[in-house]
Every structure is written in C-alpha cells, then in structure tokens.
Structure 1
C-alpha cells in the first residue's frame, strides 16, 4: 500500500473498500499526490474567489493579531472549486497543524470524541462533507464548537454518567457541497461562511499556467485558453484536462501542448467546445430525441442514459442548468432551445416551456447563492 493511499484512509475513510479499489490504489494515490502538489499553499497564491479570499484573509489576520484561534469556518459550493485547498491554506496561514477527516467517516459520537480529544491547542480540524455526519456526532460537535468541551457518557441505563472533557481552543473548517442539508444549529456555530462559485475562464487560465509550470509542461497560451474554456468553471477539471492533453502530446504529438494537440486530446476524451462530456450529451440526447424535449422526471432520464439518479442530478444537471441547456419545471426537466441547437436538431413546434412553469436554478451549484 502506498503512503498516499494509507494517509487517505487515516484521514477520513472508514477503510471499507471494494477489492477493485484496492487493486488500483497506487494509481489513485499518484493522482492524489499530483493534485495535492498543484494546490497553492497561501492565500496570496490562490487565484479567483476574490471576495471569499479577502474575507477569509481578514478573519485569519485578525485572529493572528489577537493570538487566538479564529472562528469556525464553513466553506460551501460545488465539488472541485477549492474547499479542501482553502482548508489547508487556513492551517498554513495560522502556522498550525491540520487534522483531516470527513462526515461519512464519523458515524458515531465516539468517533468524533476520539478525534476531538486528541486535538492540540490551535489545531485546525477539517471536516469534509460535513453534512453527511451522523446526527449523534453533530449534537456532540455543537457543544465542542461553542464551549470547547464534550460530555463522555460512561455506563448504560440509569447508571450512566456524563463526564465533561475540556478541550483546547481549536478551529473547525467544514466543507459541504450541499449547505442546505446542514442543520440550522450547526450552521449557526460557524463564525464565517464562504460560498465558492464557478471560476471565470481567465482565472482558470491563470491556474492552468501555474499548473503547467509545476508539471513542467510546455504549453501555448492559446492552448491554455482552450482548456480553460472547456473546464466547466472548475479548477479540478481544468487540471485534469491539462494532464490528459499533456499525455496526448507526449504519445501522439511533439510533446508540446499546442492548440492542435489540445483539440485532438479533448475530442478523444469526449469534451466538446462548451465543456460538455459524454454524460452531458447523453442526457440532452435522451431528453430531446426520446422524450421530445420533456418535461421528464429525473429518474426516468437517469434510466434512459444508464446512470443512477444521483449521478445525473449532482454531476450533469447543475452544469446543464447553469449553462441554459435544461429547464427545471414542476413536472420535470425540459430541454431549452439551446439544447436542441447544440445537438444540431430542430425543436418541434409547441415544445416551449411556459414561463409560469419555469424555475430558477437557485440550488447549491447555481449563481443565485449568496456568500
């Protein structure tokens, strides 16, 4: 077992893996190590998210000036936008160690008590996917965040005794892709909440230029712009596409990432000029060709493309809604004129969605969220 994979288990997974995941553990660890190496280490090096970055810098600088632990921090937003990176930066800026775990790994109050009792003063506790933590652990976390103590229950039944355990001051950094699932008592205990939105292409170009330098990839500025425009506003996707284009240039090209190599590589990996991948186009194709533009329920749509409903709803739909390809209505999902046009199809007469049936995409991944 590789070092990176073992640390991932210790930091947040339950250790219950399928054998197929164990077989390719070294490959996953290598990808994780590459992604970790590309992460900026300081706020000054963190591109994009200017508002959140400036707000977080103020919170951290003020806490350092007082010589105290900063307020607990909640970071929300779609996957791949830098929540984990910002948590690492918080610890680096405070010059304190960081403990990493995740909500799914904490299924019992005892699991959380073991983590909390081992924290040092000023340490940063990063809870990824905090909305998936067990309810009993959430209730223990309320007290720990507010009063820096936990009550350990000893015994059972009428003879049970609560022993208070004092904790040193620490900072919780919680990350969630679905902030609406957080209970209000937990959400209210965070002194700072930052919502990360999708990146502009020019910010992604800066990220890609920096990543190319770290990976020692010889890349044209024009090729960087092409990759940035197809990265769905997400740095994680941008860095992944850069590595795949680098691979194509190494195997089939001259080794230099230019526009021709970029376009050929992205065509090979089914990423079109608007950033839509195979799943996105399959959803649009099923919606337009099989169901005449809808509306159709998400479960039916998922069966049509051979995926789980959660996959379609959390992976494909947010970007398609944001880009105006899909309209969410009370009766289901419907294709917009842009979807028909993108597939090279002509929308049949009478398939438009009346304005009264349209709904705005004000979910966690939409542009209508406030920081």
Structure 2
C-alpha cells in the first residue's frame, strides 16, 4: 500500500496529525492496538488549562483555544482549577499561583466551592474559573473522521516490526502488510525512540513517565459535579470530578520503559494520603485504578517537525501530558511545516519545538 504520509501511532498526536496532513496528501495511520487512543490518550486527566506548561506549550495551548471552543460544536465544559496549600508551603504556593495565573481566594471561599476541604490544613487557595474539561474521546474520533473523509485510512492491530529506507522512500512492515510512503510520521508516544531505531534515525532521548490514577466514590455522598479540579502545590497530587466520582492522582512521574502501564500500589497510596491530608472525608474505598505513560523530551517540550538528519522522517512526539490541549495547534504546525506554509506561532516557540534543538 502506497501513501504520501505514513503515521505510526493512533493517540491524539497521530490522529490529529492524520487529520491535518490529509489536507496535503494521502494518509495512512497505523495503530498497534485494537483501537485509537488506547495508551496515554485513553488515560488522560482531560483538562484544558491555557497557562499549564512551558512557554512553548502555553503558546500551543493558546493557539488551540479557538478550536477547543468551537470546532465540531466545541469540546469544552466548565470545570475550574483550584490550587490549595497549607501555611508551611506558602512560598511554593505563591510560585504556582503566579505560574498558573490563578486568582487567590480565601480558605472560606474555597470551602464554599469544595465543602470537604479541611480548614485546619487548607489555609491558602487560588482559583482559575476558565480551566475546562475536554471531551478527549470525541476529539480523537473526530480527527480520525476528518482523515477518513479526505481519503485517509486508519488501520488498527498493525504493530510495526520493520522499517526500511531507500531512494524511493520508506517501506514499513506492520500487521503482516507492507506500506510504502514518501514521509514517515513518528507519533508512537512512549515508543517513538524504538520506532526511530527501527528506521535508523537517532533517538531524541524520550522519557516515558508513569502517571497513576484512582477512582473514588463521591466523598461523603456529595454531588461533585460542579467542583473544580483540585491541585496540591508543586503538583504533588490532584483530584478531578468525573461522572459523579472523584479521580485522584499522586501526580507521579516515575521514569519507566515503554509498556502498557499500570498503577504502582505504593505510589498510589502515598498520593491518596497527600489528598487525605487536605480533606475531611477519608478514603474508604478505591473503585478502580490505572496508569498511563506521559512521554517527555529531555527539555520537556514537544518535538514537532522533520528530523534534521533525515528530513522525510517526521517527529510528532513528547506530548508529555499536554497532548490534548495542544493537539489542534501542534498538528497545524506540523502541516504548515510540511506544506511549506507560514505558521501563526512565533519564531521562538517554533524553535523550542523543533527537533533541531535536540541534535
């Protein structure tokens, strides 16, 4: 099978790239699992917070905002983000408050919004009402729908086993089939360096880091629907309402090898303990738990664009937990680069995202 762009990886990075690149040529997307968004993209906290991330990430967030608000009826619903702290963490609280662009509120105002907060331990709070939930599954499926509508193909259960490059382009063996492409897009998440090795391309030093999550019953029988997402200072834990339950994460970032991730019981218990310190309702039952891998480059920014040593090998990698909120602008940047179009991103942001910075 021949195509212009062969994309490896069917998470939000690969699906959004497929949609944008299908405007430029014939796209084929290969996903090794049975469905799109199986790994990190299917285990996201699903939030859009414009001020969350490094300067280059924030630039992508802001450039993605209009898409999130309006495309296909919009993907956002109100949530809000609340930072909470005790008096012994005030210096870190002030730093986080400034970095995230939150407005300080009183502990009484915080308790009015989230009645389980412990007034003895929560003495400082900040709030950003504009943080919103993202409909992540619909976003992945809608990007894939765009790719298909433009003649692209999305193929699951297609694990890549061999990659060869010659004067004619790329030949990739996956799922018992051989695919030929002019340009190869590496959107394989935690596996991007493994794909690069198969292709004979120098790795970028990807760092897959585990992020664990527990689902709890609604604390004390409260209606959590309108509660904001809660975050401990230094992102030491967070909690987010979800379908009438509460998701709590230790915000772990343990470096691991690429694999189908699962939660570490001890790490999860430590995170739940940090959460319990700030609330009045103890954790009595965990309904389920899971983990995903957030993949980072050495400097923490996304890697988007042609490899400087192999220009028809395209990196779409290192989303690092920012994949959904940056996807509209990140995929547009990728298409602009490959299509030879100007980008709305400033030169500094483009440089901070380019693979050239890592060579």
Q: Same fold (TM over 0.5)?
A: no
Higher helix share goes to which structure? 1
TM-score, with structure 1 as normaliser? 0.26
TM-score, with structure 2 as normaliser? 0.26
Q: Which has the higher contact order (CA 8 A, sep 6+)?
A: 2
Larger radius of gyration: 1
Higher strand share goes to which structure? 2
